[in-house]
Amino acid sequence: MTHAKLPRKLLHGLLAVTLTGAGFSAEAALQARDHNSDTVIDGYYDTVLNITWWADANAAAGSTLDDGFITDDGFMSWQNAADWVAAFKPFGITGWRLPNIDVSSSCAGYLCNSSANELGQMYYTYLGGAPNSGVSSPLFSGIRNGQYWSNQWYLPDPEQAITLNFSDGYQDADFKIDAVGAVWAVANGDVLAVPEPGAMALFSVGLLAVLAMRRHRRR
């Protein structure tokens, strides 16, 4: 899917998104990240939750693990979702996972948006969703009208995992094997791209040259 393009000057600055509307009042600071320097926004660093959201909320669509009713819609079993996000490695960046959901609060149903609930924060705070409203966003592409998997299992029944439905904001649990959900990749902290081997080699040569010059001057 195509991500939004912004001028490079803006990409290097802070993209402050002020959210106003019924049901919430919050200011979320999302910093755009262009991981491969092609002026396309690849992700957003969330300065509130200290995580990075991948800009495509349906990046798993069409993968070999996409085993939903349609094989290119991005819906898959929880195990396939966990396997896909663990192998996700855009531009050499590793460490992606499914979003966290706070299970300690025992929240179920609507308005589960504590600070420990990453999916709830995205739906209700950042995207301005309300119960039964659904969401859309000019920043993120591919947001699915259905449930998203979290990385938390349902404590009374480990065969189920917690989900949040982006069609109506309802938090529930569903079976890891029999049910399907969408995948939104997140990573801890402000992730950066891994330099290409050629770039690393050039950097190493340049560093050696600098060190050699310093040694020569000391003599």
The residues pairing with 51 across neighbouring beta strands, listed in sequence order, are 46, 188
Name the residue ranges covered by the structural domains of the chain.
8-194
pLDDT for position 102: 76
Per-residue pLDDT of the chain (219 residues; tens, 9 = 90+): 444 544 433 443 434 443 434 333 334 479 999 999 999 999 999 999 999 999 999 999 999 998 877 888 999 999 999 999 999 999 999 999 999 987 776 788 999 998 899 999 999 999 999 999 999 999 999 999 999 999 999 989 999 999 999 999 999 999 999 999 999 999 999 997 655 454 444 444 444 454 555 655 655
SS3 44: strand
Rounded Cα–Cα distance for residues 108 and 123 (Å): 15
pLDDT for position 218: 57
Do residues 137 and 143 make contact, with C-beta atoms less than 8 angstroms apart? Answer: yes
Do residues 61 and 72 make contact, with C-beta atoms less than 8 angstroms apart? Answer: yes
pLDDT for position 6: 43
Of 23, 10, 3, which is closest to residue 133 (Cα–Cα)? 23
Tokens at residue 188, please?
């801890």
